[in-house]
Amino acid sequence: SSETYYPREIVAYQKGYYACLQETENITPNSGAAWQEIVSVDSIYEAWQGADGNGGLKQEIAETLERVENTRDEIVQEWEGTENSEGLKQQLENMLDSVVVEDNLTSTSTTSSLSANQGKVLNDTKQTEWIATTEADESSSNNYVVTLDPAPEALYVGMKITIIPHATSTSKTVRINVNGFGNKLLRVYSYATTSGIVLPPATDFLREGKPVSLMYNGTYWIAQNYYHNNPTVSLTNDSNITPLAASAGKKLEDKKADKQTAQGGFVGGEGASAYEENYPFESGTGGAIGKNARVIANGGAVGENAETRRGGALGYGANATDGGAVGDGACVNDGGAVGVGTKTDNGFAGGYCAQTVNAQGYAIDAIQLGTGTNTTEKTLQVYDYPLLDANGKIPVERLVDTPGGSGG
């Protein structure tokens, strides 16, 4: 029968496929200039099977699959290990086990019952912090002996320890001898001096059984959970704070333990102050209650040596710029610090000795929940376990044991 083909038509004929190049009639695809062979079954078979059954795509795929399987076995062996060597999985577990901290301070017993030999490393990444109860020095009741275990090779700048005083200090001149490296004077931070450090604000700054975090700056042991802002504190002697003028609304009446300030605020307690000349438009309207409690602007400070500007400070030695500090020695800038010895900048620290500080001991903007030290800006840490990084992501190690996680 007669059949007409047109250009670009594809025709299957015998063992191949042909393309029509020009209009034609009754000319078979395997002959004449009107057709061009595209592919033949024989060429496809040869490409797949290879010449004489050797090579070809079939064999290449088989070899590739074999290589993939061998590589998989190598990866599994490297992860799981062998009878003679540990795998990466075991090495990782060993590393995680090495940084787990057994915190004896979570028991119901009081911290004052810890012995001097119960000092322990809190941060295993660089071995930078210990906790230890002090011992008496026969040469002076205001010299404190500290024995750290494990013992450091030497004192170094940035070294951190937390001491639990065995007795309350009776002088502002306090010396601390750590593992026999010599007596070093105790100091506190101050915003009001060029050196940035001054004597402790009170003779009983160290209290029996009350933990104090310290950092060594190469010369002094600096208390990390207390900032003193009064410019009248002397570095060279133990003199008391200069009395403030009554006309400025700062000095208390001699025969009255409390009074309203001229600006409408309130002070109550020996040495309490609620007025600061550097803040004339807002100072004097806040409230300072407690021995030496101090409010610089219009905030509130309650407790001995509590101090704030526009925030709130509640507790012995609590210090807040414009944020909130609650607890013995709690210290904060514009964030929140709740608990004994807590410290942070504009973040939050909650729990016993929870702190967010850098390697130099300065407060940073981060979050620490529970006993521990978070040294990374903008992150969240619970005890010694990072929970969120600075980008708001959960670290991989925290996902290991979660449903659908990547753990084995």
Q: What is the 3-state secondary structure (H, E, C) of 303-335?
A: CCCCEECCCEEECCCCEECCCEEECCCCEECCC
> What is the chain's pLDDT, residue by residue, as a tens digit (408 residues)?
468 888 888 888 887 888 888 888 878 887 778 888 887 777 777 777 776 666 777 778 888 888 887 787 788 888 888 777 778 888 888 877 766 444 444 433 333 443 433 444 433 434 556 889 999 998 899 999 999 988 999 999 989 999 999 999 999 999 999 999 999 999 988 755 555 788 888 899 999 999 999 999 999 999 986 665 544 333 333 343 344 444 444 444 444 556 787 777 888 888 888 777 666 666 778 888 998 888 888 888 999 989 998 899 999 989 898 899 999 888 998 999 999 889 999 999 999 989 998 887 788 999 999 999 999 999 999 998 898 888 888 887 777 655 554 544
Q: Which of 377, 329, 378 is nearest to 354 (CA)?
A: 329
Backbone angles phi, psi at 121, to 5 degrees: -75, 125
User: Measured between alpha carbons, how far apart are the two ends of the chain, in Å?
Assistant: 71
* Residue 80: predicted pLDDT: 82
Hey, which bits of 181-309 come out as E strands? 183-190, 197-198, 212-216, 221-228, 258-260, 266-268, 287-289, 294-295, 300-302, 307-308
CB 180 within 8 A of CB 220: no
* Residue 59: predicted pLDDT: 78
* Residue 246: predicted pLDDT: 42
Strand-pair partners of 81: 86
Backbone angles phi, psi at 150, to 5 degrees: -70, 150
Burial status of residue 67 (CB atoms within 10 A of its CB: 0-12, 13-18, 19 or more): exposed
How far is it, in rounded angstroms, from Cα 78 to Cα 90?
A: 10
| Two tokens, residue 217 | 């700056």
* Residue 184: predicted pLDDT: 95
* H/E run at residue 44: helix 41-49
| Two tokens, residue 141 | 């009741």
Q: How far are the Cα atoms of 188, 263, 268, 294, 314 from residue 257, in angstroms, in the given order?
A: 28, 18, 6, 15, 19
- Residue 208 in 3-state DSSP? coil
Backbone angles phi, psi at 286, to 5 degrees: -90, -160
CB 317 within 8 A of CB 306: yes
Say how many residues make up the chain.
408
Backbone angles phi, psi at 292, to 5 degrees: 60, 15
* Residue 93: predicted pLDDT: 81
* Residue 134: predicted pLDDT: 92
Give the CB-side neighbour count of residue 275, counting CA atoms within 13 A: 24
